[in-house]
């Protein structure tokens, strides 16, 4: 046994680290276990995009309101944990701009026409590499480089065993393992839910090019300001888990992104990540049936946007507080 935290979080993606930082901010001692290396969260563009995600999904007002409430947790969350939040809005280029503005208005989002398309103040962004670093350094959070191989529980606590032979104990465990296979020892219903998470591969390219004033999006393509220039993304490849970059696709996307920007630039190596999705596109967040077991999984295209909301639901569950207004929609066992 190497230590005894209050909570062990398995997985250091955005959901695991947001949950860890939230819990530590509430006074819990939290250990996060992850082997390290790239994941979906480090591949992402960092958009907090309730408006444009709803526009491209042709979403409902209820879903739009949930995503907006998730976004509205960000200012307090970012300030508490030292992330820089860019509230610079988004520009959209596409056909039938009046119809797009009307659709956004019907879902409760502000937008207005510009000469080239529309602009909306509703979508924000964070820088993903700096954000993950800040969350991992939150006071009260300890990150351990290891891979969890097995879980088991007695009446009081969880035993967490790593593949390198280390063991930890805690009253609460948060499973935030992205699209990984279920860890050995999970209760059958939870293992089935984890095993049913659907992978969607995504690829984007960092490009050293002059950034636009705010994220710039069009059908199937976005250009987002980022450290060193912009990122241009992203593919949506259902059912794929492989992470070898597709250089031909990257070159075509970068060419389209530079044309959209009207600029020149040099592309870096593409980043690939695997998003996890549930049938309704919302994450699995909160207490599972087993005492002390909590899930923070499968936020699909909106892991960054939904990070603070998932973290609040997980922390409320661990503290036995009354569930917030969005906990039922994210019930981790709704598909069990
Ligand atoms: C190209 C791309 C662009 C995107 N852009 C955006 C965007 O702009 N805005 C947005 O909101 N979302 C975006 N997303 C979606 C977002 O990135 C994901 O929804 C989110 O990162 C998922 O986070 P996660 O914590 O669930 O999983 P991950 O980030 O995959 O983290 C899971 C972690 O669990 C660890 N793990 C797995 N098994 C074990 C084990 N046994 N023991 C220990 N650790 C383990 C892994 O090592 C990994 O670090 C994008 C995704 C992609 C691929």
**How far is the centre of ligand 1, averaged over its atoms, from the C-alpha of 267 (Å)?**
23
Kindly state the DSSP code that residue 216 receives in the 8-state scheme. Answer: E
Question: Which residue's CA is the closest to the ligand 1 atom numbered 22?
Answer: 303
Distance in angstroms (rounded) separating the CA atoms of residues 35 and 10: 10
Q: Is residue 49 part of a domain?
A: no
> DSSP secondary-structure letter at 84?
-
The stretch 71-88 carries a mean pLDDT of: 98
Residue 88's pLDDT is: 96
302 Cα to the center of ligand 1, angstroms = 10
Say how many residues make up the chain.
Answer: 336
Closest atom of ligand 1 to 147 CA is 42
Helix (H, G, I), strand (E, B) or coil at 58: coil
Closest to 183 in 3D by CA, of 26, 8, 19, 51: 8
Tell me the average pLDDT across 249-261.
98
Distance 40 CA to ligand 1 centre (A): 3
Per-residue confidence (pLDDT) for residue 3, from 0 to 100? 54
Beta bridge partners of 152: 159
Angle between helices 74-81 and 61-72 (to 10 degrees): 30
pTM (2 decimals)? 0.98
* Residue 78, domain member (yes or no): no
Asked if residue 168 is part of any domain, the answer here is yes
pLDDT for 1: 42
Atom number, ligand 1, closest to the C-alpha of residue 224: 8
- 57 occurs within a structural domain: no
* CATH code where residue 27 lies: 3.50.50.60
Ligand 1 atom 51: residue of nearest CA: 44
Q: What is the pLDDT of residues 93-136, one digit of tens each?
A: 999 999 999 999 999 999 999 999 999 999 999 999 999 999 99
Phi-psi region of 178 (alpha: psi -120 to 50; beta: other; left: phi over 0): left
Most distant CA pair in the chain, distance: 64
Q: Which domain holds residue 313?
A: 7-41+132-197+279-319
CA 86-88-91 angle, 5° bins: 135
Q: What pLDDT was estimated at residue 120?
A: 98
For 24, list phi and psi in degrees, rounded to 5: -65, -40
- Asked if 178 and 243 touch (Cβ cutoff 8 Å), the reply is no
Q: What's the Cα-to-Cα distance from 270 to each of 215, 265, 307, rounded to whole Å?
A: 19, 14, 24
Ligand 1 proximal residues by C-beta, below 6 Å: 10-16, 33-35, 39-41, 43-47, 147-148, 176-178, 180, 183, 202-204, 233-234, 273, 275-276, 297, 299-305
Q: What is the pLDDT of residue 155?
A: 79
Q: Decide if 291 is inside a domain.
A: yes
**Residue 25 covered by a domain:** yes
Q: How many structural domains is the chain composed of? A: 1
Closest CA relative to residue 47, chosen from 263, 298, 303: 303
**Do residues 8 and 158 touch, judged by C-beta distance below 8 A?**
yes
- Phi and psi (nearest 5°) for 199? -80, 140
Q: Do the domain assignments include residue 87?
A: no
179 CA distance to ligand 1 middle (Å): 8
Given a cut of 90, whether residue 58 has pLDDT beyond it is no
Interval between CA 202 and ligand 1 midpoint (Å): 11
pLDDT in tens, 147-174: 999 999 987 899 999 999 999 999 999 9
Is 145 domain-assigned?
Answer: yes
Shortest-distance atom of ligand 1 to CA 16: 25
């Amino acid at each position: 046994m190497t230590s005894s935290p209050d909570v062990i979080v398995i997985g250091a993606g955005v959901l695991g680290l947001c949950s860890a930082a939230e819990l530590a901010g509430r006074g819990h001692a939290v250990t996060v276990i992850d082997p390290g290396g790239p994941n979906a969260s480090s591949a992402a563009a960092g958009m907090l995009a309730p408006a444009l995600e709803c526009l491209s999904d042709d979403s409902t007002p209820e879903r739009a309101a949930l995503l907006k409430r998730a976004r509205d947790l960000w200012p307090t969350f970012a300030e508490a944990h030292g992330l820089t939040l860019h509230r610079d809005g988004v520009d959209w280029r596409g056909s039938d701009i009046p119809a797009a503005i009307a659709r956004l208005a019907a879902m409760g989002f502000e937008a207005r026409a510009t000469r080239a398309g529309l602009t909306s103040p509703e979508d924000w962004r964070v820088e993903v590499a700096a954000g993950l670093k800040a969350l991992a350094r939150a006071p009260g959070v300890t990150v351990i480089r290891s891979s969890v191989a097995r879980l088991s529980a007695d009446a009081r606590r969880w035993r967490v065993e790593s593949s390198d032979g280390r063991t930890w104990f805690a009253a609460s465990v948060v499973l935030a393992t992205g699209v990984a296979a279920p860890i050995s020892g999970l209760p059958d219903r939870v293992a089935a839910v984890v095993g049913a998470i659907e992978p969607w591969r995504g690829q984007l390219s960092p490009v050293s090019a002059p950034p636009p004033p705010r994220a710039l999006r069009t059908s199937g393509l976005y250009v987002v300001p980022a450290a060193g220039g912009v990122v241009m993304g992203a593919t949506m490849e259902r059912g794929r888990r492989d992470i070898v970059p597709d250089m031909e696709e990257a070159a075509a996307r970068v060419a389209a992104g530079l044309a959209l920007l009207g600029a020149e630039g040099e592309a870096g190596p593409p980043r690939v990540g695997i998003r996890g999705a549930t049938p309704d596109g919302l994450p699995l967040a909160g207490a599972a049936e087993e005492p002390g077991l909590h899930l923070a999984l499968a936020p699909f295209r909106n892991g960054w946007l939904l990070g603070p909301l998932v973290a609040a639901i997980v922390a409320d569950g661990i503290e036995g507080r009354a569930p917030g207004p969005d906990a039922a929609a994210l019930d981790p066992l709704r598909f069990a």
